[in-house]
């Protein structure tokens, strides 16, 4: 992801967020809502184990054998969890060369209708950082997305088709631009638009850096207001509203390609991943390690996403 990050901007985010209400008793996800999804039970402990196993794959910089190993692992894992899976391979120019190979990993749980909820996470690591593990960026969201896939598959069938997109090439190799960064999400948005399925997507929810022990999800300005409000309501219902804040600027992430095409989008990202509140000094450094993550944080985000999906209306909501 990319963002202009300043102390003043972070302070403004906290002012906009205001004083969060006291946590409420969590309620069971999937008990209400227009989409009438089946109840989905996620586990933070399972998600953390998924993260741990995924990190064992090793570095996964886009366009490298490590990224190919990661894509194969994710597709096999989805199938083992009972989810239809495919690897979407494509070639695009990048700083690595004119025909860099990228691989999105796509999962699908059929629904009773043609409506689609798309849940996404990038799985590649930032290149050029010695000893970079990427436990939070992007191990945490990748592991949680696998756990969500397991939980939704276990509770199938659903009214809405649930799709999972593990994006390759989110990280820039030199500097974000038309041929550097967000390769996977741009490609998927284009292909869905080309075959007419993009209009069926009622929500696109991107997870990124969601496992920090000191969780503060900073929802950026370039998200759909209806989904932002729904996310805050779901977080309040799950007793975790204080961990969800507004960020008053745009953030470049995998949701943007869909947001720009009019799809209702939400970016759940913790851009305060650091050694003290309001700092982001672990991001893209060797300090982004598994010990910084918490099963409790993954559990909360998983429950909020499950509730949010369950309560989505049948129509698109900007």
CA count, 13 A, side-chain hemisphere, 82:
13
Sheet of 201-208, strand order: 84-94, 97-109, 161-167, 116-122, 201-208, 265-269
Locus of tokens 């041929």: 179
State the Cα angle at 204 between 313 and 240, rounded to 5°.
Answer: 75
pLDDT by residue (tens digit) across 164-190?
Answer: 999 999 999 999 999 999 999 999 999
pTM, 2 dp? 0.90
pLDDT at 38: 61
pLDDT at 112: 95
pLDDT at 317: 63
Domain annotation for the chain: domains and CATH numbers: 7-310 (3.40.630.10)
pLDDT at 2: 60
Share of the chain above pLDDT 70, in %: 86
pLDDT by residue (tens digit) across 50-80?
Answer: 999 999 999 999 999 999 999 999 999 999 9
18 falls in which pLDDT band (50, 70, 90)? very low
Q: Cβ(144)–Cβ(60) under 8 Å?
A: no
pLDDT by residue (tens digit) across 201-240?
Answer: 999 999 999 999 999 999 999 999 999 999 999 999 999 9
49 has pLDDT over 80:
yes
């Amino acid at each position: 992801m990319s963002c202009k990050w300043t102390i003043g901007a972070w302070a403004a985010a906290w002012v906009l967020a205001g004083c969060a209400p006291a946590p409420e008793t969590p309620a069971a996800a999937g008990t209400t809502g227009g989409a009438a999804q089946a109840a989905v039970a996620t586990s933070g402990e399972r998600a953390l184990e998924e993260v741990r196993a995924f990190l064992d794959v090793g570095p996964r910089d886009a366009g490298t054998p490590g990224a190919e190993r990661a894509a194969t692992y994710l597709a096999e894992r989805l199938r083992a969890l009972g989810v239809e899976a495919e690897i979407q391979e494509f070639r695009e120019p990048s700083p690595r060369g004119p025909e860099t190979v990228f691989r999105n990993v796509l999962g699908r749980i059929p629904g009773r209708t043609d409506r689609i909820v798309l849940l996404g996470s990038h799985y590649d690591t930032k290149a050029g950082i010695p000893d970079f593990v990427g436990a939070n960026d992007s191990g945490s969201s990748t592991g949680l997305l696998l756990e969500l896939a397991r939980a939704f598959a276990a509770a199938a069938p659903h009214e809405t088709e649930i799709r999972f997109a593990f994006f390759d090439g989110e990280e820039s190799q030199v500097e974000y631009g038309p041929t550097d960064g967000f390769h996977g999400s741009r490609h998927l948005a284009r292909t869905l638009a080309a075959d007419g399925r993009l209009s069926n997507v009622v929500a696109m929810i991107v997870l990124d850096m969601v496992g920090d022990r000191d969780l503060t999800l900073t929802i950026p300005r370039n998200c759909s207001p209806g989904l932002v409000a729904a996310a805050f309501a779901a977080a309040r219902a799950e007793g975790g509203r204080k961990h969800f804040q507004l960020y008053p600027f745009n953030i470049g992430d995998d949701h943007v390609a869909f947001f720009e095409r009019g799809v209702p989008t939400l970016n759940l990202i913790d851009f305060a991943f650091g050694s003290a509140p309001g700092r982001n000094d672990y991001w893209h450094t060797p300090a982004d390690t598994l010990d910084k993550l918490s099963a409790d944080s993954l559990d909360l985000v998983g429950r909020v996403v499950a509730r949010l999906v369950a309560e989505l209306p049948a129509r698109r909501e900007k």
